[in-house]
């Protein structure tokens, strides 16, 4: 059965009749969950089963943002907390092997949590490189402040997720770390020269160009396209994301409902596809907006379909795993920061 090139959120912890009818009629490629959709493991498993049943695809991708630190949709008492990305960077500064080991362990534990409830995709890793004076929207979510550190830890996170049978999404390509505004609220404009962007911001993504999926950042890079953010810039997607970075996997937008983008939801959706994104992401779960997105979204076909199929085919079966031992090892590694006075 054909699907449409969008991913949608829904309004709450249970699938409403109108949402089910919408999903059956418009056939989104996948779904994304937020805190408003989560109560406990049994409820999440049931909701995911309902979503997949509604779209008629038992393997439809279900996404979540489960990074650790301050970005965790699954939280206590039903799910544990995990370290922030910056923790791995601090360990990496002590010893690169420690930082990468901790990052991989944390991601493998997260993958175990996700697999048990039916989530198949984590919006992780980040390859954003923050700079002094940037907005805190990235902040301690980042793995470091240089491209080499960030790329190395992002690869370890990727390995941990994939060992646990969870697909990674690389974000926020080609970089959100330099933005001086939160793109949820307004449009960030970065005026840094192109050569510096290529040496730092874009450079962190290049070693990760083989990942199956990536999410764009709603950021204007004026040295390349002074008008459009990367998400709606054909020049950024062609020259930087597909060109300089070399990413050839499935390219999805960040949330089309974020305030960084201008115009109606329908107009934003058209602009995202016109620029060269394969799939549009809609997060807010408002039925009228979902309908606006669907009205402007094509069937998943051509190169986008090929990339989508390749992305899903990249999912691996979980490898054997001792959860208690992994958690103990992660906690011991993090404890080294305290012992080192970090």
Give the pLDDT band (50/70/90) at residue 135.
confident
Mean of the per-residue pLDDT values of the chain: 96
Q: Evaluate whether 124 touches 68 at the Cβ level (below 8 Å).
A: no
Give the pLDDT band (50/70/90) at residue 1.
low
| Tens-digit pLDDT profile for residues 88-119 | 999 999 999 999 999 999 999 999 999 999 99
Q: Evaluate whether 260 touches 221 at the Cβ level (below 8 Å).
A: no
Tokens of 163: 């060992």
Q: Looking at residue 342, what is its pLDDT? A: 58
Strand partners, 8: 31, 282
Cβ burial of 37 (10 Å; 0-12, 13-18, 19+) is buried
38: nearest Cα among 87, 88, 78: 78
Sign of CA dihedral 139, 311, 309, 275: positive
Q: Looking at residue 338, what is its pLDDT? A: 78
Q: Looking at residue 183, what is its pLDDT? A: 77
Helix ranges, 30-142 (H): 41-55, 85-94, 96-117
| Tens-digit pLDDT profile for residues 293-305 | 999 999 999 999 9
Q: Evaluate whether 264 touches 292 at the Cβ level (below 8 Å).
A: yes
Between CA 297 and CA 295 the distance in angstroms is: 6
Q: Is 26 a catalytic residue?
A: no
Q: What's this model's pTM, rounded to 2 decimal places?
A: 0.96
| Tens-digit pLDDT profile for residues 215-253 | 999 999 999 999 999 999 999 999 999 999 999 999 999
**Which one of the listed residues 21, 40, 136, 184 is annotated catalytic?**
184
| Tens-digit pLDDT profile for residues 172-212 | 999 999 988 877 888 999 999 999 999 999 999 999 999 99
Q: Is 184 a catalytic residue?
A: yes
Sign of CA dihedral 139, 207, 159, 40: positive
**Which one of the listed residues 112, 225, 254, 278 is annotated catalytic?**
254
């Amino acid at each position: 059965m054909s699907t449409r090139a969008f991913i949608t959120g829904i309004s709450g912890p249970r699938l409403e009749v109108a949402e089910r009818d919408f999903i059956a009629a418009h056939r989104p490629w996948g779904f994304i969950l937020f805190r408003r959709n989560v109560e406990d493991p049994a409820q999440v498993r049931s909701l995911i089963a309902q979503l997949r049943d509604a779209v008629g695809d038992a393997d439809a991708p279900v996404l979540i943002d489960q990074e650790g630190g301050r970005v965790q949709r699954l939280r206590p008492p039903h799910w544990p907390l995990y370290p922030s990305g910056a923790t791995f960077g601090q360990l990496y500064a002590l010893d690169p092997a420690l930082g990468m080991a901790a990052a991989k362990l944390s991601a493998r534990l997260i993958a175990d949590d996700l697999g048990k409830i039916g989530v198949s995709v984590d919006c992780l890793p980040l390859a954003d490189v923050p700079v002094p004076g940037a907005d805190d929207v990235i902040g301690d979510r980042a793995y470091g402040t240089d491209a080499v550190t960030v790329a190395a830890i992002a690869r370890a996170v990727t390995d941990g997720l994939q060992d646990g049978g969870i697909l990674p999404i690389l974000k926020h390509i080609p970089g959100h770390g330099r933005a001086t505004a939160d793109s949820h609220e307004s449009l960030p404009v970065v005026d840094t020269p192109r050569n510096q962007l290529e040496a730092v911001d874009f450079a962190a993504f290049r070693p990760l160009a083989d990942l199956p999926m990536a999410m764009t950042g709603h950021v204007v890079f004026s040295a390349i396209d002074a008008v459009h953010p990367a998400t709606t810039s054909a020049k950024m997607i062609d020259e930087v994301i597909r060109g300089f970075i070399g990413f050839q996997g499935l390219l999805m937008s960040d949330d089309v409902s974020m305030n960084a983008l201008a115009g109606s939801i329908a107009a934003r959706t058209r602009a995202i596809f016109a620029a060269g994104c394969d799939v549009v992401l809609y997060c807010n779960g408002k039925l009228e907006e979902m309908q606006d997105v669907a009205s402007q979204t094509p069937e998943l076909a051509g190169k986008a379909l090929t990339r989508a199929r390749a992305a899903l085919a990249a999912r691996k079966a979980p490898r054997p795993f001792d959860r208690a031992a992994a958690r103990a090892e992660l906690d011991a590694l993090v404890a080294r920061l305290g012992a080192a006075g970090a």
